[in-house]
Chain A
Amino acid sequence: MKTIFKYFITFTVVSSWLVSCGDVNSGKSSSQGALSTNAAEKVYVAPGEHDDYYAFISGGFSGQLAVYGLPSGRLFKVIPVFSVDAEKAWGFNEETKPMLNTSHGFIPWDDSHHPDISQTAGELDGRWVFINGNNTPRIAKIDLTTFETTEIIEVPNSAGNHSSSFVTENTEYVVAGTRFSVPFPQRDMPISEYKGNFKGALSFISVDPEDGRMDIKFQIMMPGFDYDLSHPGRGASHGWFFFSTYNTEEANSLLEVNASQNDKDFIAAINWKKIEEYVNNGGGKKVPANYAHNVYDEKTHTATSTMKKEVLVVDPTEVPGAVYFMPTPKSPHGCDVDPSGEYIVGSGKLAAELTVHSFSKMIKAIENEDFDGDAYGIPILSYESTLAGAVKNPGLGPLHTEFDGKGNAYTTFFISSEVVKWKLGTWEVLDRKKTFYSVGHLMIPGGNSRKPFGDYVVAMNKITKDRYLPTGPEVTQSAQLYDISGEKMELLLDFPTVGEPHYAAGIAADIVAKKSKKFFRLEENEHKHAVKSEAESKVVRNGNEVHIYMTMIRSHFAPDNIEGIQVGDKVYFHVTNLEQDYDVPHGISMIGANTSELLIMPGQTESFVWEAKQEGVWPFYCTDFCSALHQEMQGYIRVSPKGSNVPISFTLDGDPVDIE
């Protein structure tokens, strides 16, 4: 109790200091400032023109990933990842159900946190976005030619997959660090015996440079701390990965107090190249595991889920020189590496200053064995030996730092609701701007790379209160865009976001846009139930299953009237969109279907099941306004009593000409 009170006092004192010196940036003057400048002009993207950047902003508890344009803040797409999505039938149709398979069965939701874009030689290459599922540990890969999730791998021995999913310089690995340590192997044991018995798995998932196929290469079984965030080294520090920790106390209840006792927690520095070498030489131990690996194939338009049965585990004490702890004050959250790879910024959530470690000093300290003891056999480097400097009185509750590539860093402060610009090397504060309100993470396009695009920073806020029209107790979540091209930051725009805008990654539009797919080629469609012309469409009974092989084109289904279905039949619609034109999807839904509609892209096949429960004649129709005669795009299914002698029949009506 005393401790909480102490923090409260500290916060109040520092807040008043902030208010007294930071008044120039109070809310009112800032928003009026934006009006009095050309802020509107700077975010205006004229009709028909394109934004300069893609922003991939995680949906947090929506489980999805949303795509926005910058500087306009316009929402382009919500990519379904970890949560079922009726709009795109994600997790509803037969093709994508396997994507949400896990060792716990079909999980229709997750908490999506940190997207990161693939890199080549430390620069964004725009091939894939990776994002973590926090709740039931998973890493997903989104293909940026289709903006669809094409792979999800579950992470065993983990819980609260939070220090994820950041990629190394050449996308050799995407990491998945556990926030919650758990018994390893999982077992029934008293929670009070947490300390020393729980382990924190840091998983290194390799990414095939050609097809992007993911595979858990190894897991490092670390002491039972909480691993919060992580970032890869780059440049000279390429080959290392840094993870922030909290609860080095290994407390297991009332963590807000009990995990805030140590003056310093750690940033774990992992030489993954060394561990990779160890593993390649036969090091590590294969242990039984059970985790799902789900892959969506663009040719078959279908996902498959495979259960994997073992994982390679590495004990860090068996690879000397591979893992070190750098003491970092007070429960660090962000763990951010600057574009040169030299500075590692640790944001102690409860610290009064921002700690910056030096990579070169760290290497020297390792050589000099500048240790302050060890934790479970892992050397703890002395605090002073790795310290590059500290930003004094930066604000309250530092969370996350990004870099503009021009020698400046930008840190968000949750408690004091601001973005603070400071200089690398001199550690002086250059500018501060209010956010509205309670900012979490921030994003500069290319921020987690050697080459940030230092035009804008996006702040992602937790609270909006009076910033938008009220919509009941739940108001929109929001992001804010600041121009950082000048010496002072300028707030340009508020824009609403989907779910909780937890974290984001951004990239110059021209890297991604030119590779975007316009349609799927029908001749490459290898879906096992695809039919590629109206003439091939058919209806087949197989016991009490009926399979309808249907095609769609502007503006009709073939077949469109189907008879001979009986009560109790399971009717599968396998529907192929015959269009080969950009932006011409069709949809289909069936009355009473216990699923969602299908939204089928040109050249794609999707399937759903409809159970015939009542006699009658029941319609289906196109759900996507596809053409002038969209309303006419419909058909019927006649359901007869069970055992009826109405034969299976259908009409191939509509257009008499086969255009294939």
Chain B
Amino acid sequence: MKKSKLLMIVGPLLMLGLFVFPLWNITLEAPQYPTPLGMNMHINKFSDVHEFDIKNINLMNHYVGMKYIPETIPEFTIFPIVIGVMVVLGVLIGFFANYKWYLAWFVLMFLLGAAGIYDFYLWEYDYGHNLDPKAIMSFKNPDGSPMGFQPPLLGTKNILNFVAHSYPRGGAYMMFTGMFMTLGAFFIGKKEAGENN
């Protein structure tokens, strides 16, 4: 089998890792939490890093009026379908389609990924800004506007007494690897096509 074909088949299959490993993780550190509180985001659920972490994040966050992290969100139904379809599509393209389709698949996946990240940002923004007006404690920014508690999209940020870390996890790394393999498959496929001519 051609190298490009192989990459185009294996790449999308790697994304199946998203059904096993978390996509993203937010960790909250504070002096009184020597074992930090952590929440994993999967494509179909939230999970505790240590048992009851989400319950305890909720307990902490209610002081500033943040909402409780919901049991489930609509994305948890949509994401698995999208990923499932993209994997199947990718494998089919790998087997049966021309290398140009490889790029098409990559671009589509890239756009879907970007949409996912934007959705995550919106959710975080709402979670960090849409605070209970009866909140126990309210903090203002130096300019007088109400302080938000949005965790960073990617990276590390101080939020009051917490240091919040937001980074991809195993599932995301497998997805990125898979996507770059399909991109590679396109370039290698292109080269292979050139040699054959």
Contacts and interface: CB of A to CB of B under 8 A. Distances in A.
Interface of A: 553-554, 579-582, 628-629, 655, 657, 659
A586 to B, nearest CB: 12
Contacts of B68: 657, 659
Interface string B33-77: 001000000000000000110011011001100001000000000
Nearest to B137: A628
Given A579-B59, A580-B52, A659-B59, 14 more contacts: A553-B59, A580-B51, A580-B55, A581-B52, A581-B55, A581-B56, A581-B59, A582-B35, A628-B63, A629-B63, A657-B62, A657-B68, A659-B58, A659-B62
Contacts of B58: 659
A247 to B, nearest CB: 55
Contacts of B1: none
Say whether chain A's binding surface is mostly helix, strand, loop, or mixed.
loop
B85 interface: no
A581 B34 CA distance: 12
Contacts of A629: 63, 136
B132 to A, nearest CB: 9
A584 to B, nearest CB: 9
Nearest to A48: B34
Interface string B97-126: 000000000000000000000000000000
A580 B48 CA distance: 13
Interface of B: 35, 51-52, 55-56, 58-59, 62-63, 68, 136-137
A430 B56 CA distance: 57
A581 B55 CA distance: 9
A582 B56 CA distance: 10
Contacts of A655: 62
A46 to B, nearest CB: 15
13 contacts: A554-B59, A579-B59, A580-B51, A580-B52, A580-B56, A581-B59, A582-B35, A628-B63, A629-B136, A655-B62, A657-B62, A657-B68, A659-B59
B3 to A, nearest CB: 50
Nearest to A658: B68
Contacts of A553: 59
- Of all A-B residue pairs in the complex, the 8 with the closest CB atoms, nearest first, are A580-B52, A581-B56, A659-B58, A657-B68, A554-B59, A659-B68, A580-B55, A629-B136
Contacts of A659: 55, 58-59, 62, 68
A268 B137 CA distance: 70
B61 to A, nearest CB: 10
A562 B195 CA distance: 86
Contacts of B59: 553-554, 579, 581, 659
A482 to B, nearest CB: 33
A443 B142 CA distance: 60
Contacts of A582: 35
Contacts of B51: 580
A350 B62 CA distance: 69
A628 B136 CA distance: 10
A471 B25 CA distance: 55
Contacts of B56: 580-581
A581 B54 CA distance: 11
Nearest to A629: B136
Contacts of A554: 59
Contacts of B55: 580-581, 659
Among A579, A581, A628, A657, max chain B CB count under 10 A is at: A581
Contacts of B137: 628
A133 to B, nearest CB: 37
Contacts of B35: 582
B135 to A, nearest CB: 11
